[in-house]
């Protein structure tokens, strides 16, 4: 029996419910199997996205609910659990199965350990670059937001870490929530070698470009153009008042012109570094000609292999590289005769136990954290259950936030936004201030209490649900459904706006469209909203309890999606 | 970026762009003084407004290009660009179908001017933006959907 066969037997045993063997004994073998693979071609692009300011290794549970409707039903990225493993030929019970799915999450997380962390990512980047001279490192954005440290330093910690990591080009989304001035200052004088590109951010008055649309680099003698695509709906999904003079949108026509300009300028490889979200990228790839690959983010989908989309100009690869520094995408291109002849792609899970920390990055992260370490590490409570966020409708950490809002604000109903960032805590783990901020650290954290009529509440749910399940990806915003506390309802994702949400009930009684209810929420997009930061509400709730019992998820009763492979 | 251009036009006020277009002779001044079609402006449906304007039976055309955001960033001022590629275009009319009073207005295009207009319209809820172009006494139409959403909750 060779090593591979042995690992397969081990995997089969694990799938059959047997205990996983002591993993440290196989760590070297696992590391080799994952990270030692032959180089291919002559142009290598390394890609991470949506790291959400996670400098240290974390646990991150992938979703068990990620429903696709219309043309998106049953195709990547809308596959979860065993459906995903089957589609990509990943063996159940393996390290990779753990990386890409929620299956047996707690047990596998204890076996394989934490993922990501900039020091471990740095080691992987250095190894790959040693094999692939000239490889470019691309950051898809949502880099400066997602932790207490990043919020307190307005992203300066992440800028320092990304400079040291050797990021070449980035684009953005949550970066913009620090406001126009902060972003401009960073781009003009703090990013060092990093070029910030976004073809679809324009001034609201004359449509002048705010950032460079694209960066060009020569890799092994091959001219490569990287066009940036910021999250097109930032002024809608996040507060517009932070960026009042900027307008975004998908801007297909402008993109087509940039692609043609890049080709005319000699680019043999044209890549879109995109924060559109995977569904939007798939549609865009079918309509815009001449892009070799869209390296995508925003929707946090860890998709093992690219989707190949045919279009009038040939074909475009579409990838999505997960979140929280859990993955590094490696796209090896073989460029011959002025065009891409072939490719290899891997989405490498970054297992902290398999990749020693890079000493230089480790030292930087420690130095950045040192002034705040004691505050971040304050232990607020212990959780008895698994706390996570990802999923279309709710996560246990969101439920905890909802429960805290209902109690602390004295609300009948609570809403928590369907963000996709936020790390995971294993049962028995301490909940620190850092964990709470991992779920809540934004520049508009106000927790509000409002009077809403039953009719308005239904409208809000319908509106958000359409942003998730509209069959036209260009009309989606890439977040998950608003999490709802106190109120039960039914949801039919494949229905039309106005008829997806039904049977709204509060404590078993139908919601009265004409009555007014006390509704708590946070992250208001309107300017001037007042309220204490959401993390203070959650901290108070945690400190009052000390021990957090497993949360009971308030989930809508789903209609019309039985058998959907986006549903575990 | 041309800062002076921005300051000058901001000083000209909200109607600056339209005023500039008029001054350049691109639009006939008659646009302001034309007979007020009360029935069209008071109509509560696009069909009624089009009837009042004599546009009933307008033919769907692919030669009208409407540029508007897929999702409005601010429903109160949605930027809309309209280009007519129909030879002999003499007017461009705009209707926001779901607004309480859909008829937004008509731009008369003087001979030789490019049939291109830019306007900012209020769109109360997700709605098709319908355009009717008159050319050679005939009427042509096209529409583009603009979504208006409460916002928040993105990624």
Q: How confident is the model at residue B129 (pLDDT cuts 50, 70, 90)?
A: very high
Please list the pLDDT of chain A residue by residue as tens digits (568 residues): 455 544 454 444 444 444 444 555 577 888 888 999 999 999 999 999 999 999 999 999 999 999 999 999 999 999 999 999 999 999 999 999 999 999 999 999 999 999 999 999 999 999 999 999 999 999 999 999 999 999 999 999 999 999 999 999 999 999 999 999 999 999 999 999 999 999 999 999 899 999 999 999 999 999 999 999 999 999 999 999 999 999 999 999 999 999 999 999 999 999 999 999 999 999 999 999 999 999 999 999 999 999 999 999 999 999 999 999 999 999 999 999 999 999 999 999 999 999 999 999 999 999 999 999 999 999 999 999 999 999 999 999 999 999 999 999 999 999 999 999 999 999 999 999 999 999 999 999 999 999 999 999 999 999 999 999 999 999 998 899 999 999 999 999 999 999 999 999 999 999 999 999 999 999 999 999 999 999 999 999 999 999 999 999 999 999 999 999 999 9
Co-location of B86 and B30 in the same domain: no
Is the per-residue pLDDT at B21 higher than 50?
no
Is the per-residue pLDDT at B137 higher than 70?
yes
Domain span including residue B114: 37-148
Give pLDDT, residue B112: 82
Give the Cα separation of A519 and A496 in Å (integer).
25
Residue A320 near residue A77, CB atoms below 8 Å: yes
Co-location of B54 and B77 in the same domain: yes
Indicate whether B126 belongs to any domain: yes
From the list A142, A236, A474, the residue facing B149 with the nearest CB is A236
Residues of B in contact with A208 (CB under 8 A): 1
Distance from CA of B79 to the nearest CA of A (A): 9
Give pLDDT, residue A27: 78
B132 vs A25, higher pLDDT = B132
Co-location of B5 and B68 in the same domain: no
DSSP character at residue B2: -
Indicate whether B57 belongs to any domain: yes
Residue A181 near residue A247, CB atoms below 8 Å: no
Indicate whether B144 belongs to any domain: yes
Give the Cα separation of B118 and B75 in Å (integer).
16
Nearest CA in chain B to A202: B1
Residues of B in contact with A463 (CB under 8 A): 149-150
Distance from CA of A204 to the nearest CA of B (A): 9
Phi, psi for A522 (deg, rounded to 5): -150, 170
Indicate whether B90 belongs to any domain: yes
Co-location of B23 and B79 in the same domain: no
Give pLDDT, residue B34: 56
Listed as own residue / partner, the contacts of A308-317 with beta carbons closer than 8 Å and 24 or more positions apart are A309/A282, A309/A285, A310/A286, A311/A285, A311/A286, A311/A287, A313/A289, A314/A289, A314/A290, A316/A285, A316/A288, A316/A291, A316/A292, A317/A292, A317/A293, A317/A343, A317/A345
Give pLDDT, residue A30: 86
Average pLDDT, chain B: 83
Co-location of B28 and B48 in the same domain: no
Would the CB atoms of B153 and A237 count as touching at under 8 Å?
Answer: yes
**How many beta-carbon contacts under 8 Å exist across A and B?**
88
Interface of B with A (CB under 8 A): 1-2, 5-6, 9-10, 67, 69-74, 79, 126, 147, 149-155
DSSP character at residue A317: E
Give the Cα separation of A171 and A49 in Å (integer).
10
Co-location of B72 and B128 in the same domain: yes
Indicate whether B75 belongs to any domain: yes
Beta-sheet pairing, A487-491 with A557-558: parallel
Domain count, chain B: 2
Q: What angle do CA B78, B84, B77 make, to 5 degrees?
A: 5
Phi, psi for A55 (deg, rounded to 5): -80, -30
Residue A450 near residue A521, CB atoms below 8 Å: yes
Co-location of B8 and B53 in the same domain: no
Co-location of B108 and B44 in the same domain: yes
Distance from CA of A392 to the nearest CA of B (A): 11
| Burial (0-12, 13-18, 19+ Cβ within 10 Å), A491 | buried
Give pLDDT, residue B2: 45
Residue with tokens 């960073």: A186
Distance from CA of B25 to the nearest CA of A (A): 21
Give the Cα separation of A321 and A116 in Å (integer).
13
Indicate whether B28 belongs to any domain: yes
Co-location of B46 and B65 in the same domain: yes
- What three-state secondary structure class fits A556? coil
Could you tell me where the DSSP H helices lie in B16-129? 16-23, 30-33, 38-42, 46-52
Indicate whether B153 belongs to any domain: no
Indicate whether B58 belongs to any domain: yes
Co-location of B30 and B43 in the same domain: no
Give pLDDT, residue B19: 40
Give the Cα separation of A403 and A399 in Å (integer).
6
Co-location of B8 and B66 in the same domain: no
CATH number at residue B125: 2.60.40.2470
| Burial (0-12, 13-18, 19+ Cβ within 10 Å), A191 | middle
Is the per-residue pLDDT at B107 higher than 50?
yes
Co-location of B11 and B41 in the same domain: no
């Amino acid at each position: 029996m060779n090593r591979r066969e042995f690992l397969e037997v081990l995997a089969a045993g694990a799938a059959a419910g047997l205990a996983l063997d002591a993993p440290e004994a196989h760590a070297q073998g696992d590391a080799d199997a994952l990270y030692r693979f032959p180089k291919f071609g002559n142009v290598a692009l390394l890609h991470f996205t949506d790291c959400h300011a996670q400098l240290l290794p974390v646990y991150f549970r992938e979703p068990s609910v990620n429903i696709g409707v219309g043309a998106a039903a049953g195709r990547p990225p809308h596959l979860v659990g065993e459906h995903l493993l089957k589609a990509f030929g990943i063996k159940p019970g393996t390290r990779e199965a753990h990386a890409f799915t929620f299956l047996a999450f707690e047990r596998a997380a204890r076996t394989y350990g934490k993922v990501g962390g900039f020091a471990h990512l740095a080691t992987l980047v250095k190894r790959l670059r040693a094999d692939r001279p000239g490889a470019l490192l691309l950051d898809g954005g949502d880099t400066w937001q997602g932790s207490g440290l990043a919020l307190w330093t307005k992203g300066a910690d992440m800028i320092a870490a990304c400079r040291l990591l050797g990021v070449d080009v980035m684009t953005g989304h949550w970066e913009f929530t620090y406001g126009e001035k902060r972003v401009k200052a960073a781009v003009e004088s703090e990013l060092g070698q990093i070029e910030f590109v976004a073809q679809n951010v324009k001034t609201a008055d004359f449509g002048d470009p705010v950032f460079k649309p694209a960066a060009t680099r020569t890799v092994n003698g091959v001219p490569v153009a990287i066009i940036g695509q910021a999250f097109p709906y930032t002024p809608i999904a996040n507060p517009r008042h932070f960026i009042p003079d900027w307008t975004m949108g998908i801007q297909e026509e402008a993109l087509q012109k940039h692609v043609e300009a890049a080709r005319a300028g000699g680019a043999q490889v044209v890549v879109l570094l995109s924060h559109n979200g995977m569904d939007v990228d798939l549609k865009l790839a079918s309509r815009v000609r001449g892009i070799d690959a869209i390296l995508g983010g925003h929707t946090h989908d860890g998709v093992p292999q690219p989707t190949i989309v045919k279009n009038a100009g040939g074909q475009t690869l579409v990838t999505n590289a997960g979140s929280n520094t859990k993955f590094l995408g490696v796209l090896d291109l073989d460029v011959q005769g002025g065009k891409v002849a072939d490719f290899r792609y891997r989405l490498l899970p970054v297992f902290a136990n398999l990749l020693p920390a890079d000493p230089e990055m480790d030292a930087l992260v420690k130095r950045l954290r040192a002034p705040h370490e004691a505050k971040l590490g304050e232990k607020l409570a212990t959780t008895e259950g698994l706390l996570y966020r990802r999923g279309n409708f709710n996560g246990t950490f969101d439920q905890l936030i909802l429960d805290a809002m209902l109690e602390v604000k004295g609300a009948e109903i609570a809403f928590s936004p369907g963000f996709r960032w936020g790390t995971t805590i294993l049962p028995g783990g301490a909940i620190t201030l850092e964990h709470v901020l991992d779920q809540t650290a934004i520049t508009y954290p106000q927790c509000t209490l409002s009077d809403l009529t039953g009719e308005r509440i239904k409208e809000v749910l319908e509106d958000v649900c359409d942003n998730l399940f509209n069959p036209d990806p260009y009309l989606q915003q890439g977040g998950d459904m608003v999490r709802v506390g106190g109120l039960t309802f039914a949801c039919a994702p494949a229905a039309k706006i106005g008829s997806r949400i039904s049977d709204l009930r509060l404590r078993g009684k139908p919601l009265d469209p004409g009555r007014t209810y006390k509704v708590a929420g946070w992250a208001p997009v309107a300017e001037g909203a007042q309220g204490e930061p959401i993390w203070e509400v959650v901290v108070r709730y945690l400190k009052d309890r000390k021990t957090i019992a497993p949360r009971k998820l308030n989930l809508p009763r789903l209609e019309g999606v039985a058998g959907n492979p986006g549903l575990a | 970026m041309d800062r002076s251009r921005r300051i000058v036009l901001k000083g000209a006020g909200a109607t600056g762009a339209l005023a500039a277009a008029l001054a350049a002779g691109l639009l006939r001044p008659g646009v302001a003084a034309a007979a007020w079609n009360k029935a069209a402006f008071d109509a509560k449906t696009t069909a009624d407004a089009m009837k009042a304007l004599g546009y009933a039976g307008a033919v769907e055309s692919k030669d009208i290009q409407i540029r508007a955001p897929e999702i409005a960033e601010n429903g109160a001022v949605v930027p809309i660009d309209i280009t007519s590629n129909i030879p002999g275009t003499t007017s461009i009319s705009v209707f926001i179908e779901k607004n309480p009073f859909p008829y937004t207005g008509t731009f008369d295009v003087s001979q030789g001017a490019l049939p291109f207009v830019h306007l900012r319209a209020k769109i109360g809820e997700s709605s098709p933006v319908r355009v009717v172009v008159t050319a050679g006494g005939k009427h042509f139409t096209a529409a583009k959907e603009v979504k208006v959403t409460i916002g928040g909750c993105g990624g």
